[in-house]
Structure 1
Amino acid sequence: MHETYGLEFERVKRDLQPEEMLRVIFDYAAKIANERLLDRVLMLMADMGREMIVCDRCTVWLLDSKKNELWTRVAHGISELRIPSHHGLVGHAVTNDQAVFIDDAYTNEEYREFLETGAIATDKKTGYHTRAIMVIPFRNSEGEIMGAYQAINKMTPSQQFSEKDMEYLTLAASYAGKSLESALLTNEIEETQKEIIFTMGEIGESRSKETGNHVKRVAEYSYLIALGLGMSQDEADLLKMASPMHDIGKVAIPDEVLKKPGKLTEEEFEVMKTHTDIGYNLLKNSHRRILRTAATVAYEHHEKWNGRGYPRGLKGEDIHIFGRITAIADVFDALGSDRVYKKAWELDRILNLFKEERGEHFDPRVVDAFMEQLPKILEVRELYSDSVLNGE
């Protein structure tokens, strides 16, 4: 998307005819109504707005009243952004409940201050050339401003946005509003679930003197391995959310077993193994997708590919793929970290063990995916190291 100004306006288009406009509205309204993921709703809204008013870029900004910020997770040609709610043209439009029209960002004087620090500054970094800009606030079902559409560079011969374009973007927002509110609610529920799951995971680990960063690392390792195996983004995200609960059953293991500095006796190890059943039983009755997944991970992350794991002695692909992934992620972090009963292993020693246990303890495909993702996994280990947690 870093085209030059001249190249962009070689792609001159025309405004939509009424029947074309209706087709765009009906097409996107149906897609948006069936979408629950916030990222997808935002992308579809941006796509719909861009097609309806024939512009080069369209961004949907949402107002986060708690943080006094405007944010967008999806935009054409740019990544996630967060800005103060009063910042820039979008902030001005939202704060003042006012639509903003700019025909040429480089000659406009009324919004010069915003443009110099916003669009023009961004153009200098990217090579893009911003000309026309339009920002339209939109409201939720209760009439409160919930965000704004921002459109850049009209692609018709006039190269300028019109009052009719404003009407169309407002129409786009009204069509998508209910679905957007529903997606925001779903997103809030999922974020709350993630927070609870992560906190419970930390509680389980802290009882055995693990750090909160252990569950972060295992979650990130599991996510990377899942993607390396070719799993969908949705599945990888689900595993990342659920894996922090893999050892939640440790909350019920007696201290004399859980915190013993030396090797466990056979009887003590039998007690320790029950944390898989306990974790599963704590979570299995939930109707929430994340918690049901967490139940599976808690139950099966100590199973082994060769059938010699616990608690049920499952073998091969009878072990859920999420359990197989979390198994190697958990072992990698456990071996690479200092514990009360051992010092951290060197990386080469861990990798040699994984090669030996490929097809024994671990699923061969999972080991291969782990090895392929190792550079990224090591970056995560550094990012969430215990020394970082302790401020060292």
Structure 2
Amino acid sequence: MSVDNDRGELRFKHDLEPQEMLRVIFDYAAKIANERRLDNLLMLMADMGREMVVSDRCTVWLLDRQKDEIYSTVAHGVPPLRLPSMAGLVGHAIQSGQPIFIENAYTNLEFQEVLQSGAIAVDKQTGYRTKALMVIPFRNNQGEIMGAYQAVNKLTRDEVFSGRDLEHLTLAAAYAGKSLESALLTAEIEETQKEIIFTMGAIGESRSKETGNHVKRVAEYSYILALGLGMSTDQAELLKIVSPMHDIGKVAIPDDVLKKPGKLTEEEFAIMQTHTTIGYQLLKNSNRSLLQAAAIVAHQHHEKWNGRGYPSGLRGEDIHIFSRITAIADVFDALGSERVYKKAWELDRILDLLREERGQHFDPQLVDVFMQQLPAILAIREHYADIMPEETAS
């Protein structure tokens, strides 16, 4: 229901006609099939359930078996929550495997104790009035319960869910189980890829005795710079994932070059430069978009805006934007960190260098964005500061 602005009266909704129900199902099925992000998928499912049963709120709950919890990451009108797996009506439905159907939360006797500690207690805090409730467990392809749909408050005139609503939400729950199983598997694969990529990047850095949090800081700096440049969140996230791989080619550089405390000779520097092509060769043949992006960053992060970088002497926008961003993030962090061959630079000296190299080493627009985002970058540097050996000794 909604409020009529002219008269201040409540305006109720009506149950969907068959053709309206089909439109909702087909519309959301198409959106869900094309959605890869788990949070977005869960919100689409919540929206679909809400429209199908004409409810005020709908939440998709998931069961975390490892932590023995139920959780929602997105919901209508409530923040993300994590609760013990047996908590509330959702926990009861998941444990029993049976749907719960309540016409009035304040007069229901069967679940009064659960309601008093759950929905009714929340009502007292928020001023929201819970009346009708439905909770429908859903299962994966193996028949295991993996979560539940919860609908709150019917928006039609009688304000009570019907047996037909139960059927419709059960249909949505069955579809949710199949779709979520696939999405969760994809998310798990992607998280594994991210972890492997980050670990490989850290291995490349550790061989040259780089600071322990260098790859973390470069990743976070790159993310902030990408957003500051106007890139999408998805693209910024992709860069954040792959930027730790920029020096992976160092795994093949000999120790006497990689760990030399003094200045490199021309021959030694030529050997060091090969880490860009080595990293590229390691990654380039993958069909995964993550590793393809990582290959580009590994190959081009030492190119310069003026064309005097290596290994290919690329110039300006011929250098991939991911590599241009990683370059300035890497240099900023490297100069501000202790290395085997140098002391850390003071912040003002680093910023002066970035300004001097604007349009020379670095993309001029990126230098401007870097200066704009400096407070956030410094906050990251402080958060992921390295603990020096003398600090740990104390």
The TM-score, its normalising length taken from structure 1, stands at: 0.89
- CA, structure 1 residues 106+207, in 2 after alignment: closer, same or farther (shift >3 Å)? farther
Match of 2:329 in 1: 329
**CA displacement at 1:28 relative to structure 2:** 0.9
**CA displacement at 1:23 relative to structure 2:** 1.0
**Would you say the 8 A contact 2:94–2:148 is kept in 1?**
yes
> Structure 2 stretches of 5 or more lacking a match?
none
Superposed CA deviations along residues 147-179 of structure 1, whole A, max 9, x for unmatched, are 111222322223333332221111112234433
Whether 1:58 aligns to 2:89 is: no
**CA displacement at 1:77 relative to structure 2:** 4.0
**CA displacement at 1:64 relative to structure 2:** 2.5
**CA displacement at 1:297 relative to structure 2:** 0.7
The DSSP-based 3-state class of the residue aligned with 1:74 is coil
1: CA distance, partners of 2:112 / 2:11: 28
Match of 1:37 in 2: 37
- CA, structure 1 residues 311+119, in 2 after alignment: closer, same or farther (shift >3 Å)? farther
2: CA distance, partners of 1:235 / 1:223: 9
1: CA distance, partners of 2:334 / 2:120: 49
**CA displacement at 1:277 relative to structure 2:** 0.8
Match of 2:288 in 1: 288
**Would you say the 8 A contact 2:324–2:363 is kept in 1?**
yes
2: CA distance, partners of 1:270 / 1:58: 61
- CA, structure 1 residues 62+204, in 2 after alignment: closer, same or farther (shift >3 Å)? same
1: CA distance, partners of 2:9 / 2:147: 29
**CA displacement at 1:107 relative to structure 2:** 5.9
Match of 1:373 in 2: 373
- CA, structure 1 residues 150+373, in 2 after alignment: closer, same or farther (shift >3 Å)? farther
Relative contact order, higher structure (CA 8 A, sep 6+): 1
**Would you say the 8 A contact 1:202–1:211 is kept in 2?**
no
**Would you say the 8 A contact 2:139–2:146 is kept in 1?**
yes
- CA, structure 1 residues 323+121, in 2 after alignment: closer, same or farther (shift >3 Å)? farther
1: CA distance, partners of 2:123 / 2:367: 44
Match of 1:235 in 2: 235
Return 134-143 or 59-68, whichever deviates more: 59-68
**CA displacement at 1:383 relative to structure 2:** 2.5
**CA displacement at 1:286 relative to structure 2:** 0.4
Match of 2:300 in 1: 300
The DSSP-based 3-state class of the residue aligned with 2:164 is helix
**Would you say the 8 A contact 1:36–1:182 is kept in 2?**
no
1: CA distance, partners of 2:388 / 2:48: 44
Match of 2:257 in 1: 257
Superposed CA deviations along residues 251-308 of structure 1, whole A, max 9, x for unmatched, are 1111122122232222222211111111110000001110111001111111111111
Query: Structure 1: which amino acid aligns with 2:264?
Result: L
Give me the identity figure in percent.
73
> Structure 1 stretches of 5 or more lacking a match?
none
**Would you say the 8 A contact 2:211–2:339 is kept in 1?**
no
Q: Matched residue pairs, number?
A: 386
1:74-223 alignment to 2 at 5 Å?
Answer: 74-105=74-105, 110-111=110-111, 114-115=114-115, 118-119=118-119, 122=122, 128-223=128-223
The DSSP-based 3-state class of the residue aligned with 2:213 is helix
**CA displacement at 1:72 relative to structure 2:** 2.8
Query: Structure 2: which amino acid aligns with 1:327?
Result: A
**Would you say the 8 A contact 2:50–2:57 is kept in 1?**
yes
- CA, structure 1 residues 229+94, in 2 after alignment: closer, same or farther (shift >3 Å)? same
1: CA distance, partners of 2:11 / 2:264: 71
Return 328-337 or 82-91, whichever deviates more: 82-91
**CA displacement at 1:19 relative to structure 2:** 1.6
Match of 1:312 in 2: 312
**CA displacement at 1:17 relative to structure 2:** 1.7
1: CA distance, partners of 2:176 / 2:349: 54
1: CA distance, partners of 2:199 / 2:73: 25
Superposed CA deviations along residues 84-115 of structure 1, whole A, max 9, x for unmatched, are 32333322221221323344556656545545
The DSSP-based 3-state class of the residue aligned with 2:387 is helix
The TM-score, its normalising length taken from structure 2, stands at: 0.89
1: CA distance, partners of 2:220 / 2:135: 37
Match of 1:279 in 2: 279
Match of 1:245 in 2: 245
Return 25-34 or 378-387, whichever deviates more: 378-387
Match of 2:12 in 1: 12
**Would you say the 8 A contact 1:11–1:155 is kept in 2?**
no
2: CA distance, partners of 1:110 / 1:260: 75
Return 41-50 or 211-220, whichever deviates more: 211-220
The DSSP-based 3-state class of the residue aligned with 1:152 is strand
**Would you say the 8 A contact 2:43–2:75 is kept in 1?**
yes
2: CA distance, partners of 1:380 / 1:319: 26
Query: Structure 2: which amino acid aligns with 1:147?
Result: G
Query: Structure 2: which amino acid aligns with 1:313?
Result: G
Across the aligned residues of Structure 1 and Structure 2, the Cα RMSD in angstroms comes to: 2.7
Match of 1:360 in 2: 360
**Would you say the 8 A contact 1:29–1:176 is kept in 2?**
no
1: CA distance, partners of 2:129 / 2:342: 59
Query: Structure 2: which amino acid aligns with 1:231?
Result: M
**Would you say the 8 A contact 1:301–1:324 is kept in 2?**
yes
- CA, structure 1 residues 156+290, in 2 after alignment: closer, same or farther (shift >3 Å)? same
- CA, structure 1 residues 28+284, in 2 after alignment: closer, same or farther (shift >3 Å)? same
